[in-house]
Amino acid sequence: MRKILVAIVALMTSLSAFAADIDLFFKGGVSISKFNVDESENRMGVAAGFGGKFHISNSRFFIMPELMYVQKGQENEVEFKEKNKAVIPCMYHMVELPVLFGAQFELPVKDMHFNVGAGPYIAYDFRFHEYNENMKVVRSTNSSKNAMKSLSHGDLGVAFAFEFHYKRLFVFYDYDLGLRDLTQNTSVLGQTLCHRNMRIGAGYTFPTLSIGKQRKKPQM
């Protein structure tokens, strides 16, 4: 956790060296997640965090690092009979750091614009819950019918973002495509296991911090 915070501070400091404007914001919403296997079903959770949008001088482009709390996991029990293993309902409580590269597009309506972005993310779960057949939390160390104890606590992948802004308020849709095999070894379950997560919510942007020469409004 300390390393992630240090990385955030270092990244924002370096970005501010060439950014004309910085938009700080916070956001929160609903998290819907599952694993990449067909048998896995969506699990609902929450997501919240903050970030900064560093506008590259005199252009529509920006770099946007975020620090998010995200609940990921899956709802149902997934059995792998040939390996006599199972993945039971679970929830990861994750700290996630995406760094998105995006562009801002003005709309013909005053004070409205939308952003699109994509980039890498890294994440780590600081707490993990498994659920029994009655959907009550059980300790992972007490579970004998599944392979969850062997799964990786870290994750990395590609994040995608779409935002619609009106003045200082915005709504967003984020999607995480996990690329790391959580089993760390396909022999554990006989196949790879990766996170899939989408988030829908709203946020608020603070007044713009201008550094040096004011950024010109991007041309359509």
Work out the pLDDT band at 138, boundaries 50, 70, 90.
Answer: very low
More confident: 150 or 177: 177
- Amino acid at residue number 160: F
Distances, alpha carbon 112 to alpha carbons 2, 52, 98, 151, 215, in Å: 37, 19, 25, 43, 17
Confidence at residue 7, expressed as pLDDT on a 0 to 100 scale: 62
Give the CATH number of domain 2-210; options: 2.40.160.20, 3.40.640.10, 3.50.50.60, 2.40.33.10.
2.40.160.20
Listed range (47-51, 68-72, 122-126) with the worst mean pLDDT = 122-126
pLDDT tens digits for range 155-208: 899 999 999 999 999 999 999 999 988 876 655 566 778 899 999 999 999 988
How close are the terminal C-alpha atoms of the chain, in Å? 41
Tokens of 199: 């988030």
Dihedral sign from CA coordinates of 185, 188, 191, 192:
negative
With beta carbons less than 8 A apart as the criterion, state whether 37 and 78 touch.
yes
Q: Which residue has the higher pLDDT, 93 or 82?
A: 93
Beta strands 112-131; 137-138: pairing state: antiparallel
- Encode burial over 28-59: b for 16+ CB neighbours within 10 A, e otherwise: bbebbbbbbbeebebbebebbbebbbbbbeee
pLDDT of residue 66: 94
What would the mean pLDDT of 14-41 be, rounded to a whole number? 82
**Res 219: pLDDT:** 45
Compute the average pLDDT of residues 14-25. 72
Q: Strands 43-56 and 61-74: what pairing?
A: antiparallel
Percent of the chain residues topping a pLDDT of 70: 68
Judge if pTM exceeds 0.85.
Answer: no
CB 91 within 8 A of CB 75: no
Q: Where are the domains of the chain?
A: 2-210
> What is the chain's mean pLDDT, rounded?
79
- How confident is the model over 54-68, as a mean pLDDT? 88
In this predicted structure, the answer to whether residue 142 has a pLDDT above a threshold of 80 is: no
Buried/exposed code over 65-83 (b: 16+ C-beta within 10 A; e: otherwise)? bbbbbbbbbbbebbebeee
Residue with tokens 């802004």: 165
Q: What is the spatial distance between Cα 30 and Cα 46, in angstroms, rounded to a whole number?
A: 5
- HSE, CB side, 13 Å, CA atoms: give it for residue 199: 29
Higher pLDDT, 89 or 42: 42
